[in-house]
Amino acid sequence: MTLLNLVNVSVRYGRLTAVRDVSIDLKEGQILFITGPNGAGKSSLLRAIAGVTPTAGGHIEFDGAEITGRAPEDIARLGFSMVPEGREVFGSLTIEENLLVGAGMHSRTAGAKGRTASDLASVYDTFPILKERRHQQAGLLSGGQQQMLVIGRALMTRPRLIAIDEPSLGLAPNITDQVYERLVALQSERKLTLLIVEQSSARAVMVGGRMILMRSGGVVLDGDARTLGNSEAVQAAYFGYEEQ
Ligand SMILES: Nc1ncnc2c1ncn2[C@@H]1O[C@H](COP(=O)(O)OP(=O)(O)OP(=O)(O)O)[C@@H](O)[C@H]1O
Ligand SMILES: [Mg+2]
């Protein structure tokens, strides 16, 4: 079943076209990496899907509903959760308070309270370190732990799809491994659909799944990450030679 469908999506900033006619059909339970060099338009595309950046053309459907031009909170309510670049946590709040902010949108009724408690338990199950440190200030966490916290916060909204922008940025490789191990487990155990942006194709090749390579706002390659990863076309896309 198609969960997310993009048809000819474009994003412009004034005269600059950051994303040009991108079409992607993402199936439920899939893991999709969007890779590509600096300025390829990856983050702009993610923000456009989340409703944070307006589209300049094309349309976007989530779970069969048209979401083009809808408010970010409406899109989130349908089950699309975005973890933006930069892992912003509320540094002076505790880890648990940060997670409860994620649950904010449906925690007001009595029934919702029980639900929030079980969602919290489930996040702690995924990331035991967050449980251990739940009463500490989030600002004191390491980069990897903060990444786990923002993913945990996204999980609190019970999403069907999580879109994450550069989860490995600035993390040591072994810490990135831990983050990915949890993401892959979420995908296989809960049928969570993952849309992950990474500059490098290396992680996609390691984890597997589908990979799209963007360059200058457009999709240049789309296929199986492991197959594509070893192809010369990937090198060409990063380094800019034309394919012969
Ligand atoms: N808010 C903005 N206003 C104007 N131009 C922008 C804005 N955000 C991005 N751009 C431009 O749009 C293009 C695509 O940027 P984007 O951040 O989407 O690329 P990216 O693939 O995420 O790059 P990176 O790997 O460096 O994060 C770039 O030329 C960038 O300078
Ligand atoms: Mg980016």
Q: What CATH number does the domain containing 173 carry? A: 3.40.50.300
- On whether residue 178 sits in a domain, the answer given is yes
C-alpha 184/C-alpha 186 separation (Å) is: 5
What phi, psi does 165 have (nearest 5°)? -95, 115
- On whether residue 179 sits in a domain, the answer given is yes
CB 201 within 8 A of CB 211: yes
Domain containing 67 equals: 2-88+160-239
DSSP 8-state secondary structure symbol assigned to residue 241: P
Q: How many domains does the chain have?
A: 1
- The pLDDT of residue 105 is 54
Whether residue 130 has its Cβ less than 6 Å from ligand 1: no
Q: Give Cβ neighbours of residue 237 (< 8 Å, ≥ 6 apart).
A: 36, 37, 213, 215, 220, 221
Instruction: Tell me how many degrees the CA angle 99-63-127 measures, rounded to the nearest 5.
Output: 25
CB 210 within 8 A of CB 33: yes
Low-confidence ranges of the chain (pLDDT < 70): 105-110, 240-244
- The pLDDT of residue 114 is 80
- On whether residue 244 sits in a domain, the answer given is no
Instruction: State in Å: Cα 39 to ligand 1 middle.
Output: 5
- The pLDDT of residue 237 is 76
- On whether residue 62 sits in a domain, the answer given is yes
* Separation of CA 37 from chain center: 17
Which atom from ligand 1 is nearest to the alpha carbon of 197?
A: 22
- On whether residue 135 sits in a domain, the answer given is no
Residue with token string 């925690």: 107
Instruction: State in Å: Cα 12 to ligand 1 middle.
Output: 10
C-alpha 24/C-alpha 26 separation (Å) is: 6
- The pLDDT of residue 243 is 45
- On whether residue 8 sits in a domain, the answer given is yes
The answer for 142, left when phi > 0, alpha when psi is -120 to 50, beta otherwise, is beta
- On whether residue 108 sits in a domain, the answer given is no
Overall pTM > 0.85:
yes
* Crossing angle of helices 110-126 and 143-155, rounded to 10°: 140
CB 225 within 8 A of CB 204: yes
Instruction: State in Å: Cα 166 to ligand 1 middle.
Output: 13
- On whether residue 115 sits in a domain, the answer given is no
Q: Of the ligands numbered here, which is closest to the C-alpha atom of 18? A: 1
- The pLDDT of residue 244 is 42
Instruction: Locate all alpha helices (DSSP H) within 191-239, ordered by sequence.
Output: 202-207, 225-229, 232-239
- Beta-ladder partners of 194: 31, 162
